[in-house]
Structure 1
Amino acid sequence: MAILTVPKVLREKLGDEGVEALIALLNEAAHHERDNLLGILAERFERRVTEEGKRLEVQMAEVEKRLEVQMAEVEKRLDHRITEEVSRLEKQIIEVKVALSERYASLVRWMFIFWAGQIGVIVALFALLR
């Protein structure tokens, strides 16, 4: 707080008690003015904080909407990709099953040929030994 010096002329007119009363009055006025200024600044600060809070809420809502849209797009692409991969795998599984079936059929055919040959040899042996 600043120190007030009362001019000599005013001190002579008011006297010591008057000067002290004047200084007390000025100090009280300064104190009230400071309190009022602090109140005004506090209100401005609160208003500014509220405005910034609302602005941030709006921005957060916008970001949230954009994220939801992007997530939906990514989910759609991922779902499409998974569907493509599943169909590709199913196609490969079918191809493997067909190849296995062909091998099995070939194996069975050669087994019958071998068995027929064996039966022929056994019949020939029985015919010779008889």
Structure 2
Amino acid sequence: MPVTARLSHKLYETFGEEAGADMVGWMQHIEAQRAELRELNELNFSRFESRLNELDRVMEARFAQVDARFAQVDARFTQVDGRFAQLEATMDARFAQFEATIVGRLEAKIEQRTADLMKWSFVFWCGAVGAVAALAGVLK
């Protein structure tokens, strides 16, 4: 705020010619320093703003790199998921085949054991009937 003519005149009246001139000079000096400080502040702010913009560009580039890496990792996970699905299908088919083989063998063995049991049951039944018949013949 520059020193107005009215204020300058009032200072000259109040303090006298020499003190008024010193006071007006001092106020003009302060005003010049304020203007210089304002310019310096604006310059510093523009430098800060340019640095901030540069950092923003750098961060955007780094985030883009990280996003690209995440996309690569996602693609790898998709590949691995596909391989796991393929492996799961293969394992399911192999387990089904193995189960069918085991069930077939087990059924064959059960049938064989049942036939053996029936054969031996018949042999023991015939033996028991023969023994009862022999005993009945002896006791008769």
Unmatched runs of 5 consecutive residues or more in structure 2: 1-24
Stretch deviating more after TM superposition (16-25 or 45-54): 16-25
Matches within 5 A, 1:87-126: 87-126=97-136
| Alignment-derived partner of residue 7 in structure 1 | none
Matched positions, count: 116
Q: In the alignment, does 2:45 pair up with 1:35?
A: yes
In structure 1, stretches of 5+ residues that fail to align are: 1-14
Ranked by relative contact order (alpha carbons within 8 Å, sequence separation 6 or more), the top structure is 2
Take 2:130 and 2:26, find their aligned partners in 1: how far apart are those partners?
149
| Distance across 2 between alignment mates of 1:43 and 1:115 | 104
Deviation sequence 1:27-52 (CA, Å, 0-9, x none) = 22111101111112222222322232
Distance 1:16 1:114 in 2: 137
TM-score, with length taken from structure 1: 0.74
CA distance in 2, matches of 1:90, 1:102: 18
Please say which structure displays the higher CA radius of gyration.
2
Are 1:79 and 2:89 counterparts? yes
**Could you list the runs of 4 or more consecutive aligned residues of structure 1 that deviate by over 6 angstroms after TM superposition?**
none
